[in-house]
Amino acid sequence: MMKVIEVQNLHKRFNGLVAVDAISFGVERAEFFGLLGPNGAGKTTTIRMLYGFLPSTEGSIRIFGMDISRDWRQIKARIGVCQQDNTLDPDLTVEQNLHVFAGYFSIPKKEAFERGRQLLDFFALSHKKNAKVLELSGGMARRLILARALINQPDLLILDEPTTGLDPQSKHQVWEKLETLKEKGLTALITTHNMEEATRLCDRLVIVDHGNIMVEGRPQELIARYAGRNVVEVEAPRQELREYVSTHHIEHDDLGRRMVLYSPEGSDLDKTIRDRFCTGTCTYRNSTLEDVFLRLTGRQLRE
């Protein structure tokens, strides 16, 4: 079956700065695909090339089997984009934002009003339909951006950090809405650096750093492969523990004041640590995608 997105050998250079360096991936129909990476990894640049906002320096992007550089108008008519910045029109009311946006897609007025009503209903914004955009809270603005991205009933939704800066309530509400859309068979490409979000929403994902894809797979597979089953974090590790870890070839990260040990499925490492090395504070928890992310992209600050 034809892939919804097919990216091959994509490059983007800005005056000598390499933002995206040979990225290739594909997104299947009805799949939620994640594009993860630290700040400045090239996620937004990639997404902007996908919806034709930026031209690529090299490589090919095919969406619905069409080339973005040639058939951009047909492609853009069938995608919904939720940008990272708040791009709502502050000169218009909540409802007008949807109606005017529908106009850009040449949706007839009557149809636009009907869809606008349904979307405001779905995103629990009906009571704010005559409010000014600047009066909305962060969560409501984000929901309106999502509603606006769905006004053309897209076959593909592109979400650039859909929950960044939201409080836990709003974040979970956005996730629930996205899950509902997923059940209906929508295809989506999501960038995020919220690992919980990626684990929960994405069927498959890639982790990008320095413009390169570092790894690709399903969230649970990646966790099992790179961070084992469980994690033990030992505060103020003693020399004996360091020796034990190196002689037994245990997967670990030594952060000096803290040691993170990755224990695979069926291992009794947790017990050994508890009995022999845990003099201070030890944390036992399941491995998460965040462990994978930090192991692959390193712990240094980016900016």
Give me the residues that bind another protein (CB under 8 A), please: 51-54, 69-74, 76-77, 79-81, 83, 85-93, 96, 100-101, 103-106, 148-149, 152
What is the C-alpha to C-alpha distance for residues 154 and 187, in angstroms, rounded to an integer? 9
What is the C-alpha to C-alpha distance for residues 69 and 81, in angstroms, rounded to an integer? 17
Q: Order of strands across the sheet with 282-286?
A: 252-254, 258-263, 230-235, 282-286
Nearest distance from C-beta of residue 159 to another protein, angstroms: 12
76 vs 252 by CB, closer to another protein: 76
Secondary structure letter of residue 277 according to DSSP: I
72 vs 113 by CB, closer to another protein: 72
Residue type, 165: G
Nearest distance from C-beta of residue 100 to another protein, angstroms: 5
41 vs 79 by CB, closer to another protein: 79
Which residues, listed in sequence order, are joined to residue 215 by a DSSP beta bridge? Answer: 207
What is the C-alpha to C-alpha distance for residues 156 and 36, in angstroms, rounded to an integer? 18
189 vs 261 by CB, closer to another protein: 189
- Whether 121 and 180 have beta carbons less than 8 Å apart is answered as no
Q: Order of strands across the sheet with 17-27?
A: 17-27, 5-14, 58-63, 66-67
Nearest distance from C-beta of residue 212 to another protein, angstroms: 25
Nearest distance from C-beta of residue 81 to another protein, angstroms: 4
Long-range contacts of 249-256 (CB under 8 A, 24+ apart): 253/294, 253/295, 253/299, 255/299
144 vs 207 by CB, closer to another protein: 144
Nearest distance from C-beta of residue 204 to another protein, angstroms: 24
105 vs 244 by CB, closer to another protein: 105
Nearest distance from C-beta of residue 73 to another protein, angstroms: 5
